[in-house]
Structure 1
Amino acid sequence: MNVFSTGWSVGFDGPGRRWVVYLKGCNFRCRWCANPEGLSAEPQILFYPDRDHYADQACPYKAVAKSSNKWAIDRSKCTVCPDFSCVRHWHHPAFEYVGQELALAEIVERAQQYRPLFGRDGGVTFGGGEPTLQAKQLLLTIKALQQKDIHTAIETNASTPDFQKFVGLVDLLICDLKCISKDKHLHWMKADNQLVLQNLMSMANKQPQLIIRIPFVKGMNDGKEELEKFRMFLYDLAKQRESLEVQVLRQHHMGEPKYAALDLEYQMQNGPLPERDEAQGFVDELISCGISASLGG
């Protein structure tokens, strides 16, 4: 599978201590995305010139030069570089390579090695990017992990046709629900949400372990009209289940430095962040109509 990072979390990406595998490639373009290196499915270089004053010496293709008294990278030269020498050979601190292939066997082997760290409740979570874009390999990997009695989870935007293949198979689905309004979704994510809503509603009584995650973003879903649409949709969703867990997470700007490192525009730069009281008010409104909601992060 095409991976841009791996890491660890406790109690956030599923129960217990989790090894998280971040798959590269996403069909959404959320303006606040904290992992822009996971958007493209292609290998990429993140460039942090402040880490070293001699970054230009690491590239044999002379892709790094000063422009307006600042170091800049000519990424067109990276596309013809056969081996990303700056990272793979020189291991230069100013460069980070993202886009490695991680085979099923290696993932299962490492997960088995990590088993003592998982404890009673932990396991492996696949995030992204959008993991279901790599459905074929991901399905095989999840089945292989489950054969080893390792708990599996997927963090997904629930927007792909292949999403339904994981319903009832993966132990835990953590599904993002950005907003209900089609126009807002097109504006903020550059993608339609019709299949998202259909997928969530159709699998509601088929997936035992399910978490709905709502990123709380100023200007997108903090208004009364959108709140009411959330209340109606989640209420209908909850009616089909014994229980429904909803987590609300406040937007942040922690991914901003990575946009600069990729020469991408961060569209939320200097944008207002939601206050904790505002997000808690959103949560309280959901609770008032019988939805089990909490504020995370």
Structure 2
Amino acid sequence: MYCHNPDTIDTTGGISYPIEELVEMAVKMKPYFGKKGGVTVSGGEPLLQSKALIPFFKRLKQESIHTNIDTNGRLLNHFTEELLDEYTDLVMLDIKHMTEEGYKYITGQKNKETTFNFAKYREASGKKMWLRYVLIPGLTNTPELLHAMGEYFKDYKTIEKIELQPYHKLGIHKWESLGWEYQLKDARENTAEEIKSAVIILEKYFKEVKTN
């Protein structure tokens, strides 16, 4: 509901690029990556293209380029598993909500457990993961939900940090240009104190809490 790039939702659009052309672009950017940078694939949902991402990430690894997937974790098939296990250095996993009702309200999809099963799979691999979470006052940003998330993930060893993304309305004009109704018009942005309170709660559970 709060997606600020709704134009990426339609999976029939976009432009195809040859893998080698993308790799060449990445190689040219290596001087700007620094010691920790690399290539991040996001979306929409990048794991819809897991099969195509395997040769792309394989080539990036051959060029010693760090690889990252920014995903909601709803897809876990054999292509995804190969991509994650063999070629993905980091996963940034978007946690939409901690309850089934809240998850369905925000995404329109049932079964939040798909995302948590994805997290369990990544944890079992022993490979790095960050969590991402959008703070919406009264909807996702409540003490009860933040504690629930912390309790659920507190024993995970692969989670390096959690990134909090305060809710904003910068994408409303995109929804309107597409002729779609933006359903969170009445939601408000967080106060500085609310963001600070969320950070204090989550610092009890995670090694690093970052706000964007």
Listed one character per residue, the Cα deviations across residues 129-187 of structure 1 (whole Å, up to 9, x for unaligned) are: 01000111111101111111111111011111234333333011111112111111011
Match of residue 181 from structure 1? 99
Q: Which runs of 5+ in 2 are unaligned?
A: none
C-alpha distance in 1, partners of 2:90/2:192?
A: 27
The Cα shift of 1:265 comes to: 1.4
Q: Give, as a single letter, the amino acid of the residue that structure 2 aligns with 1:280.
A: K
Runs of 4+ in 1 over 4 A off after TM superposition: none
The Cα shift of 1:117 comes to: 2.5
TM-score of the aligned structures, taking structure 1 as reference length: 0.65
C-alpha distance in 2, partners of 1:165/1:181?
A: 29
Match of residue 256 from structure 1? 172
SS of the residue corresponding to residue 203 of structure 2 reads helix
**Count of residues in correspondence between the two structures:** 208
C-alpha distance in 1, partners of 2:158/2:2?
A: 33
2:134 corresponds, among 188, 192, 215, to: 215
Q: Is the 8 A contact 2:67 2:90 kept in 1?
A: yes
C-alpha distance in 1, partners of 2:36/2:116?
A: 30
Larger Rg: 1
Match of residue 88 from structure 1? none
Match of residue 157 from structure 1? 72
C-alpha distance in 1, partners of 2:82/2:166?
A: 30
2:60 corresponds, among 142, 145, 149, to: 145
C-alpha distance in 1, partners of 2:168/2:147?
A: 24
C-alpha distance in 2, partners of 1:276/1:242?
A: 29
Describe how 1:70-81 pairs up with structure 2 within 5 A. Answer: none
Percentage of pairs with the same residue = 25
Q: Is the 8 A contact 1:248 1:293 kept in 2?
A: no
* Structure 1 residues 242 and 195: CA distance shift in structure 2, 3 A: closer
C-alpha distance in 1, partners of 2:83/2:112?
A: 19
Describe how 1:262-281 pairs up with structure 2 within 5 A. Answer: 262-281=178-197
C-alpha distance in 1, partners of 2:185/2:191?
A: 17
Match of residue 46 from structure 2? 131
Q: Which runs of 5+ in 1 are unaligned?
A: 1-30, 44-98
Match of residue 244 from structure 1? 160
Structure (1 or 2) with the greater helix fraction = 2
Structure (1 or 2) with the greater strand fraction = 1
1:102 corresponds, among 17, 31, 35, to: 17
SS of the residue corresponding to residue 82 of structure 2 reads helix
Provide the aligned C-alpha RMSD in A: 1.8
